[in-house]
């Protein structure tokens, strides 16, 4: 059974279509790259699949749970939203403990989970520090730790490397690979950086103006367009879009 399946998923804002007829399937351990120019519908797609937005048409399932049961879906997913904000006056530990308790963990379990995840993302030595003192990269890693607090089946990461230096980007991508490889979770990775997709994604979806332009592995997409590089394939599929 696929861990993530969308069928004809659409989202309209009045006459404007943000996502139109999106269908795809992802299996356990897949890292699905969600690519597209600005305004292509990447964030809307993630917000639909994470139950923040309701679809105008179509349906989806997460770990076999249909979209009509949003609370159950939210219990099985982890999300790093685009431009996530963090409570400046909380410490990393307190932030994760609260998140864990919202997912139903007891106080002691929450404390243990927070400690373990902060170590996993390399923030063990700054666990007690206020989030306001964290760098952007540290905040992104904290966000990823929060996305893993409920041992999710599917993890959605919306531009997790945005604004990070190359070392920070590499750390995040290593973590993404571990989430899929060691935890066996399905990862949906929205990004603008094609090199990231080639490096870690097992398959990709290219969106443009809300429509799915291509889907498959990197080599399948390149072959379908007849391009030598993913960059050429991407530009060929999205040329003429409003960026």
Partner 1 sequence: MKLDDTRTPGSRWLVVAEQESRDLWIGGRGPLLVFAYSLLLSAMTYLAATNRAMNFLEQREAVNLTVQVALSVGVLLTLVVSADAISGERERGTFEALLLTPVSRRGIVGGKLVAATTLWLACLVVAIPYLWVLGRGVAATGQAAVLALCVGTLVALGLAGLGLLISALTNSNKTSLVVSLLLLLVLFAPTQIPALPRTGFGELLVRINPIGSALHYVSQVLVGRRTWTHDLSYLVAPAVLAVLVCALLIVIGPRIVKLTAGVGSE
> By rule CB under 8 A, what string of x and - marks binding of each residue 1-30 to partner 1?
------------xx----------------
146 is a site residue for partner 1 (CB under 8 A): yes
> In the complex, what is the shortest distance from the CB of residue 2 to partner 1, in angstroms, rounded to a whole number?
21
175 is a site residue for partner 1 (CB under 8 A): no
Q: Which two tokens stand for residue 159?
A: 């531009």
> In the complex, what is the shortest distance from the CB of residue 75 to partner 1, in angstroms, rounded to a whole number?
4
> In the complex, what is the shortest distance from the CB of residue 101 to partner 1, in angstroms, rounded to a whole number?
5
Pick one of 75, 111, 129, 235: the residue that binds partner 1 (CB under 8 A): 75
77 is a site residue for partner 1 (CB under 8 A): yes
74 is a site residue for partner 1 (CB under 8 A): yes
Residue with smaller CB distance to partner 1, 143 or 168: 143
Residue with smaller CB distance to partner 1, 65 or 215: 65
Residue with smaller CB distance to partner 1, 69 or 220: 69
3-state secondary structure the chain: CCCEEEEEEEEEECCEEEEEEEEEEECCCCEEEEECCCCCCHHHHHHHHCCCCCCCEEEEEECCEECCCHHHHHHHEEEECCCCCCCCCCEHHHHHHHHHHHCCCCHHHHHHHHHHHHHHCCCHHHCCCEHHHCCHHHHHHHHHHHHCCCCCCEEEEECCCCCCCHHHHHHHHHHHHHHHHCCCCEEEEEECCHHHHHHHCCEEEEEECCEEEEEECHHHHHHHHCCCCHHHHHHHHHCCCCC
> In the complex, what is the shortest distance from the CB of residue 42 to partner 1, in angstroms, rounded to a whole number?
15
Answer yes or no: are the C-beta atoms of 93 and 114 closer than 8 Å.
yes
> In the complex, what is the shortest distance from the CB of residue 158 to partner 1, in angstroms, rounded to a whole number?
10
β-pairing, 77-80 with 16-26?
A: unpaired
Site for partner 1 in 83-122 (CB under 8 A): 83-87, 89-90, 98-99, 101-106, 109, 112-113
Residues of the shown chain interacting with partner 1 in the complex, contacts defined by CB under 8 A? 13-14, 47, 50, 52-54, 71-72, 74-75, 77, 79, 81, 83-87, 89-90, 98-99, 101-106, 109, 112-113, 146, 150-151
């Amino acid at each position: 059974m696929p861990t993530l399946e969308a069928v004809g998923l659409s989202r309209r804002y009045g006459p404007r279509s943000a996502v139109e007829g999106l269908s795809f399937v992802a299996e356990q351990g897949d890292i699905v790259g969600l690519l597209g120019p600005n305004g292509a519908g990447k964030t809307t797609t993630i917000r639909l699949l994470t139950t923040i937005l309701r679809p105008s048409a179509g349906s989806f399932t997460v770990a076999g749970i249909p979209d009509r049961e949003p609370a159950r879906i939210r219990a099985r997913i982890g999300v790093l939203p685009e431009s996530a904000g963090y409570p400046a006056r909380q410490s990393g530990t307190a932030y994760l403990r609260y998140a864990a308790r919202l997912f139903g963990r007891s106080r002691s379990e929450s404390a243990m989970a927070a400690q373990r995840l902060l170590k996993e993302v390399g923030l063990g030595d700054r666990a007690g520090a206020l989030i306001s003192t964290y760098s952007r990269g540290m905040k992104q890693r904290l966000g990823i730790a929060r996305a893993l607090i409920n041992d999710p089946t599917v993890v959605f990461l919306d531009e997790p490397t945005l604004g990070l230096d190359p070392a920070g980007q590499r750390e995040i991508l290593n973590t993404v690979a571990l989430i899929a490889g060691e935890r066996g979770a399905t990862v949906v990775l929205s990004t603008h950086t094609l090199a990231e997709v080639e490096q870690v994604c097992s398959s990709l979806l290219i969106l443009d103006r809300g429509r799915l332009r291509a889907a498959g592995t990197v080599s399948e997409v390149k072959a379908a367009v007849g391009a030598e590089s993913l960059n050429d394939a991407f530009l060929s599929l999205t040329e003429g879009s409003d960026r």
